[in-house]
């Protein structure tokens, strides 16, 4: 159900997980978990650093049978520490060429839920048990050299769902509040300690059956929808339509701002945990790490090791894709003119308007042309990039991307 949004959701989840140069000793990798952190309530109210709840507001159009399905997703911290035989902490451990370093691993947690929108209110409670395990490392004689200790704290989360409406326009207002109610032994403890019971990169994936979500970024022109969208007050999260453009049955509510229908660039060979960076530059920088730096990076956890291995083995075809791609942010779709749909490949008759300041356009009046692309100008108006049908240089213009441009009221569709 959520596969169409999982790639983007994972990019949100792991944003900043480990940053170049990917060494655990790097300062930027010692202050982590900056997005979507929900601290235990007691720690949040005592220290005031991280919130303990988030609230996502969405709009849905549907019938009484419309059903919401969702999942609360986050990373749960598993702390890895190294102790000597006496129990003293160690900065690293090298055993038979294998390096082990302290690190806070992130484990993916998904808490699914469902709710019929005909029900006004509901609460869900989720409990995750804590645990602790220890791996002893011995020398050849069986003498204890060190111990690697893994710790996870118990967690308690609550999800509160409220449904208002439908209003006169048939719009339901949906509110989802996620709370971290985990116990906290010492609410005044340093943040590094309370993070053990925090949710990290917290976000929601939501889907509706027999209904549609309303975009809060670009709501329908109807006044009721626009007014309902204006009343939505999201706290610590930003819901956008997810999946392929045009679909409205899926929402990603993330702790960072996105556009509707976000997508991972197809040229990207894999996550680098820094979506604000240019993939090619960051990949090249990673390639310059020394063997010892790469060894230290690989010792953090398998996700970081996978980045180093992927960069080292990146094929030439992948490098070529990373070098650049152009996507026109103003590209449009088909435009209806009368009873006809005009899109790329359509033939039209040119009728330049009088407001034109380009005198050459008067020579194109009445000429047949082929639409090569549908564009959208800075004011949001649709226009057509065309080549003249009887122009012997039309193919050359296509190759260079040199077109004539006309608005929808300056062309007449041809059969």
Cα 269 from Cα 327, distance rounded (Å): 18
Does pLDDT of 330 surpass 60?
Answer: no
Q: Which two tokens stand for residue 408?
A: 């929808």
Q: What is the pLDDT of residues 61-106, one digit of tens each?
A: 877 678 999 999 999 999 999 998 888 999 988 887 888 899 999 9
Contact (Cβ atoms closer than 8 angstroms) between residue 272 and residue 265: no
Cα 289 from Cα 292, distance rounded (Å): 8
What residues form DSSP beta bridges with 109?
Answer: 74
Cα–Cα distances (Å) from 376 to 110, 370, 393, 394, in that order, read 40, 17, 25, 22
DSSP summary character for residue 185: S
Which pLDDT score, from 0 to 100, does residue 179 have? Answer: 98
Average pLDDT of the residues of the chain: 89
Cα 339 from Cα 210, distance rounded (Å): 30
Which pLDDT score, from 0 to 100, does residue 376 have? Answer: 80
- pLDDT: which is higher, 380 or 19: 19
The mean pLDDT value for 390-401 works out to 88
Residue 80 CA to its chain's centroid (Å): 28
Cα 331 from Cα 75, distance rounded (Å): 37
Which pLDDT score, from 0 to 100, does residue 316 have? Answer: 86
Q: What is the pLDDT of residues 272-302, one digit of tens each?
A: 999 888 899 999 999 999 999 999 999 999 9
Cα 31 from Cα 11, distance rounded (Å): 19
Q: Which two tokens stand for residue 412?
A: 């007449």
406: nearest Cα among 415, 154, 381, 161: 381
The model carries a pTM of 0.78
Residue 248 makes CB contacts below 8 A (sequence gap 6+) with 212, 213, 214, 215, 241
Which fold would CATH assign to domain 335-413? SH3 type barrels. (2.30.30)
Cα 66 from Cα 56, distance rounded (Å): 19
Q: What is the pLDDT of residues 312-327, one digit of tens each?
A: 999 988 888 887 776 6
Cα 254 from Cα 58, distance rounded (Å): 13
- Taking phi over 0 as left and psi of -120 to 50 as alpha, with beta for the rest, 185 belongs to alpha
Does pLDDT of 354 surpass 80?
Answer: no
Q: What is the pLDDT of residues 173-193, one digit of tens each?
A: 999 999 999 998 899 999 999
Please state the domain extents for the chain: 33-263, 335-413
Is 210 strand, coil or helix? strand
Does pLDDT of 131 surpass 80?
Answer: yes
- pLDDT: which is higher, 47 or 199: 199
Cα–Cα distances (Å) from 38 to 105, 182, 192, 235, 237, in that order, read 17, 10, 13, 12, 11
251: nearest Cα among 262, 263, 242: 242
The mean pLDDT value for 26-52 works out to 91
Which pLDDT score, from 0 to 100, does residue 31 have? Answer: 84
Phi then psi for residue 318, to 5 deg, are: -70, -40
Whether the CA torsion 78, 35, 110, 176 is positive or negative: it is positive
């Amino acid at each position: 159900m959520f596969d169409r949004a999982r790639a983007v959701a994972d990019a949100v989840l792991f944003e900043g997980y480990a940053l170049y140069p990917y060494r655990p000793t790097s300062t930027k990798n010692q202050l982590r978990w900056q997005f979507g952190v929900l601290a235990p309530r007691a720690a949040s109210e005592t220290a005031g650093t991280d919130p303990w709840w988030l609230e996502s507001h969405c709009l849905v159009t549907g019938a009484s049978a419309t059903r919401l399905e969702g999942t609360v997703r986050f990373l749960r911290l598993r702390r890895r520490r190294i102790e000597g035989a006496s129990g003293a902490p160690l900065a690293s451990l090298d055993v038979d060429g294998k390096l082990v370093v302290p690190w806070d691993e992130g484990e993916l947690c998904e808490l699914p839920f469902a709710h019929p929108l005909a029900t006004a209110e509901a609460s869900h409670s989720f409990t995750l048990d804590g645990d602790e395990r220890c791996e002893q490392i011995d020398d050849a004689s069986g003498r204890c050299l060190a111990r690697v200790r893994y710790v996870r704290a118990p967690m308690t989360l609550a999800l509160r769902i409220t449904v208002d409406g439908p209003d006169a326009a048939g719009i339901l207002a949906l509110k989802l509040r996620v709370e971290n109610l985990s116990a906290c032994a010492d609410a005044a403890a340093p943040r590094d300690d309370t993070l053990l019971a925090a949710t990290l990169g917290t976000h929601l994936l939501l889907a509706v059956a027999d209904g549609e979500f309303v975009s809060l970024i670009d709501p329908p022109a109807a006044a009721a929808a626009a007014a309902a969208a204006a009343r939505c007050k999201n706290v610590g999260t930003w819901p956008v339509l997810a999946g392929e453009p045009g679909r409205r049955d899926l929402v990603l509510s993330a702790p960072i701002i996105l556009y509707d229908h976000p997508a991972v660039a197809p040229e990207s060979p894999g996550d680098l945990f820094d979506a604000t960076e240019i993939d090619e530059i960051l990949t090249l920088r990673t390639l310059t790490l020394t063997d010892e730096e790469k060894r230290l990076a690989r010792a953090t956890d398998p996700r970081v090791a996978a980045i180093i291995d992927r960069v080292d083995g990146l094929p030439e075809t992948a490098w070529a894709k990373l070098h650049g791609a152009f996507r026109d942010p103003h590209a449009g779709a088909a435009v209806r003119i009368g009873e006809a749909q005009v899109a790329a490949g359509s033939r039209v008759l040119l009728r330049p308007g009088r407001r034109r300041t380009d005198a050459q356009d008067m020579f194109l009046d009445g000429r047949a042309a082929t639409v090569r692309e549908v564009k959208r100008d800075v004011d949001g108006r649709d226009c057509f990039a065309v080549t003249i049908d009887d122009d012997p240089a039309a193919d050359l213009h296509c190759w260079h991307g040199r077109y004539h441009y006309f608005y929808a009221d300056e062309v007449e569709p041809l059969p």
